[in-house]
Amino acid sequence: MLDRNVSANDEAARWLDDIFYLTCWDDLEAEPSSQYPFPVVYNPYQSARSGRLPEYPRRECEQYTGAYLDGEFRAPTVDRALCRLLIEQEFFAFLSTQLSPDAPASAPLRQMGSIAAWFLGALTTAILLVICYVMIWAAHKWLGLPEGWAFGIGATITALSLFSVALGLVFLPFTFIRQQKLRKERRTLLTAQNDARIAVLGSDPVSVQRVRTVVERSADMGTVWPQSLFALLDDIAIRSARF
């Protein structure tokens, strides 16, 4: 319950302070930035690639938003901060799974290009084939492996290697098309999420409908926004068209 002896500005500052602790929970020495209560992230994509993207605890962010909606106090600055908090939490979390050094090997944006992977595989096969030839020659030279056996083993290994490389070449166009499709889908989804983030950056008033539109657009593409974000936008829309 809001303490009636505390001014609205002081109460808003208290909420913003709590949001600051949520956004900087993994950096106890963080200092308030020009984008208080958020850390400065000029290029989230570059930050993700270098593993320096902020991590916001999703459960605590949703619980905090729920506590705000259950209370009586309302302030445009807190509305804006909570919207940004929920949007950045989801965007940063998904971006980390796609671009960070710890991203899974299956992440399309972190995978080696299919053409480069085929060339690397062919080169590796060639190197292993040469090693096998040397071993066969050594076995024939010093271990007495019959020449016919040596030739047969070498021919079999060569045939299997060429078959493996040729099979990879046959499937390369399909692999390339599939990889490009997945990469395009991920980039499109990340762009849509970043559009939602950009919509709530800064301090100038923004239309609630515009924010909801970009949020719903990315949701249609597959983003699983927290339900508390939509509840917050509904609550803001009841009070004002802008925040």
For range 11-33, the mean pLDDT? 81
- Name the average pLDDT for the chain: 91
Residue 161 CA to residue 196 CA, distance in Å, equals: 50
SS3 at position 1: coil
Is the distance from CB of 189 to CB of 221 less than 8 angstroms? Answer: yes
How confident is residue 29, by pLDDT bands cut at 50, 70 and 90? low
Is the distance from CB of 57 to CB of 88 less than 8 angstroms? Answer: no
Residue 228 CA to residue 70 CA, distance in Å, equals: 11
163 CB contacts (<8 Å, ≥6 apart)?
Answer: none
For range 40-60, the mean pLDDT? 92
pLDDT at 140: 87
pLDDT at 2: 37
Percent of the chain with pLDDT over 70: 94
| DSSP state letter for 12 | H
Concatenated DSSP letters of 206-225: -BHHHHHHHHHHHHHHT---
How confident is residue 5, by pLDDT bands cut at 50, 70 and 90? very low
Residue 39 CA to residue 24 CA, distance in Å, equals: 7
pLDDT by residue (tens digit) across 171-207?
999 999 999 999 999 999 999 999 999 999 988 899 9
Is the distance from CB of 90 to CB of 118 less than 8 angstroms? Answer: no
Selection from 225, 239, 224 nearest residue 74 by Cα? 239
SS3 at position 242: strand
